[in-house]
Amino acid sequence: MRIRLVITALLTSLTLTMVGCAKEEGPMEQMGKSLDETAENVKDAAEDVAEDVADATEDAAEDVADATEDAAEDVADATEDAAEDVADPTEDAAEDVADATEDAAEDVADATEDAAEDVADATEDAAENVKEEVQE
């Protein structure tokens, strides 16, 4: 009988202990979870912004390269048109000028495209640095 009483007392103590441990999260745990969630949201937002900046920079670089190439072609066309209007003795010289202008325009377009790609690469690098800093 005494053993039953001891076993019952132990089981009751164990049950009360388990019930006592199953209480809700305290305010510090809730605040910690909230901070974790906020940090994750900030990280996600920073990654989204970095991707958007990289995409926008790349698009802008392509637009600049396209516009430069179009302008170079327009200059070349205008130069060629002007050369055609000049008398026969100057026709060869005008064609040379048009070719040189077109070559120069292509060089400018290539250089602009290279510069735009460098800007896009630098922006992507910066975006990755931001992501890494946010993740740390």
11-30 per-position pLDDT tens digit = 666 565 655 554 577 888 88
Residue type present at position 88: D
- Enter the DSSP assignment of 23: P
Residues 44-93: pLDDT tens digits?
A: 888 888 888 888 888 877 887 788 888 878 888 888 887 777 655 567 77
Question: Model confidence at 131, in pLDDT bands (50, 70, 90)?
Answer: confident
* Paired tokens of 60: 């802008």
* Rounded-to-integer distance, Cα 96 and Cα 94, Å: 5
Q: What is the pLDDT of residue 45?
A: 82
pLDDT over 60 (residue 135): yes
